[in-house]
Amino acid sequence: MGVQKKTRKFAQMKRTIKARDERLKPDDKKQEKPKENELTRHIPVAPSNMFFAANTALGPPYHVLVDTNFVSHAIRAKQDLLTSMMDLLYAKCIPTFSDCTIAELEKLGEKYRLALRTAKDPRWARVKCSHKGTYADDCIVDRVSKHRIYIVATNDKDLCRRLRKIPGVPIMKVARGKFTIEKTNLLIIARDLPHTTSLNYTSPWAGAHCRPVPGRTAQHSREAQQARRTYAYFKTLAANEPGAGVAAVPALEHLESPPEEYLDPVCIENAYGDVEGFALLSATELPEGVRWGCRYDSFAVNSPVYCQWMAREFVLRGGEMREYTVGDVREAFYLGGMGRVRTVINCSGLGLGKDEKAFIIRGQTCLVRNPCSMTITRQNSDGSWSFCIPRPLGGATIIGGTKHPHNWDPNPSLETRAQILANAAKWFPFAEGSEGKFDVIRDIVGRRPAREGGLRIEAEPLGDGERTVVHAYGAGGRGFELSWGVAEDVFNLMAEHDLIQQRASL
């Protein structure tokens, strides 16, 4: 028994680690230094003007850094550099060549003499290169990595592969005989584009401003939500993108015979609750004959400038625009490539003539050079409406107007014009010197696409179960002031039906 006890005690002692055991000492070995020839990994940090895919440093006039082979592709396609770039981006463009690009063209010899002569055109900008060698691809990649103010024009596959790794650098190419921006999977098919004018395309001629409309119906409630979100977006746009043609302006409303909704505090709260600066006018502040009035902070839109800005932003983000008249919404599935299109958003205004609830509202307004400092809307005792809307960026003033449902007359009425101007001279505060006289730029007649029951926002699966049409049309005369709210509703509807992939929140 004694031997067993000693053995057990000896085993217990062997399991105990002494305080001076070297295993308890800290490891004081020096860290190994990297070898001189060993490369350290360097991860570049995106500059502060980059926010995911949006480059806030990129804006008109656009500096387009042109590569060697882009010039030769443009010549083969018989495309003028400056004209084609401006037609693509709806803005002033500055073709820019580096010393490396010019040197490469000089080395290519007689075969590229026309491309060299084009690149040396004195109208183009020239940037100096301080590095050694003449390899233009490395120079372009280095330049756009440090200065995010360029669009790169190239048809070189290897250079495109390198540029795609740099966020916020659009790539311009020559494809199908014309200039394009390297596209995503978004395609706009339109009968009318921002540079066209048509009775049935009223967007470039609209008197666009944010004006709430009180109401009790479900339609009014939905439109109030859409208007609220659009108002918030225009506020951000006016502060950060002055070139977009949106500006903050004071607004007044004067109603001689207000509907019941304007006398209901609940309806007023629902419509004007989020509008900044809203206040009802007292009886002493109301003009003669006016029973209800209010003031608030609104936003006016220079519609032709804004449409061009929107088109330019879409193209710069990789979207493609094509001028084409669609006969049936099902035709659109074949315009993006056989079998590749799964979702079509129908923003055709009147639903391509397939919706019995859709109808037109004829409107007539005047565009005058007389400046006005605010937007004013007045309801007359006979139920008609008058308004003046200043266009930002010196775009003159829209005076209106009329609303005639189902009226297809394309001709402006001189009597209507006289009445519009007479009302404006009587009620609206134009700049001194007008004295009731107006410098009319043009009479505008347009057909607003409206719909009974309001906008149609609906997903419609087709018979095969693989294709879906998302309808979004019938805004009437409120297209601009509901636009971003409608776009958000369409996006949410597509996400609900698994028609779009959403990025994870970071």
pLDDT at 504: 40
Residue with tokens 């230094």: 33
Are 478 and 453 contacting, i.e. CB atoms less than 8 angstroms apart?
no
pTM: 0.74
Contact 329, 469 (CB under 8 A): yes
- Which residue ranges form the domains of the chain, and what is each CATH number? 49-182 (3.40.50.1010), 190-497 (3.30.9.10)
What does pLDDT average to over the chain?
86
Helix ranges (DSSP H) in 135-264:
136-146, 157-163, 218-240
User: Which pLDDT value is given to residue 108?
Assistant: 87
pLDDT in tens, 261-273: 999 999 999 999 9
| The token pair that represents 338 in the structure block | 């056989």
For residues 91 and 60, the answer to whether their CB atoms sit within 8 Å is yes
Are the C-beta atoms of residues 361 and 448 closer than 8 Å to each other?
yes
Q: What pLDDT shows up at residue 51?
A: 42
Q: Are 433 and 427 in contact (CB under 8 A)?
A: no
| pLDDT digits 0-9 by tens, 359-401 | 999 999 999 999 888 999 999 888 889 999 999 998 899 999 8
Is it true that the peptide bond before 61 is cis, omega within 30 degrees of 0?
A: yes
Report d(CA 154, CA 92) in Å as an integer. Answer: 19
The encoded tokens of residue 456 equal: 């149609």
The span from the CA of 51 to the CA of 28, in Å, is 45
What pLDDT is recorded for position 182?
80
Query: Rounded CA gap, 362 and 445, in Å?
Result: 7
To the nearest 10 degrees (0 to 180), the angle between helices 99-107 and 136-146 is: 170
CA–CA distance, 160 with 172 (Å, rounded to integer) = 10
Q: Which pLDDT belongs to residue 450?
A: 94
Q: Which residue is listed with tokens 């490891």?
A: 27
Mark the ranges of the chain whose per-residue pLDDT is less than 50: 1, 50-53, 503-506
| 3-class DSSP assignment, residue 47 | coil
Would you say 354 and 329 are in contact if contact means Cβ atoms under 8 Å apart? yes
Alpha helix (H) ranges present in 195-329?
Answer: 218-240, 265-272, 303-316
Which string of b and e fits 331-348 if b means at least 16 CB within 10 Å?
ebbeebeeeeeebbbbbb
pLDDT digits (tens, 9 = 90+) for 84-109: 999 888 888 999 999 989 988 998 88
Q: What is the pLDDT of residue 25?
A: 61
In tens, the pLDDT along 307-352 reads 999 998 888 877 888 899 999 998 998 887 655 788 999 999 999 8
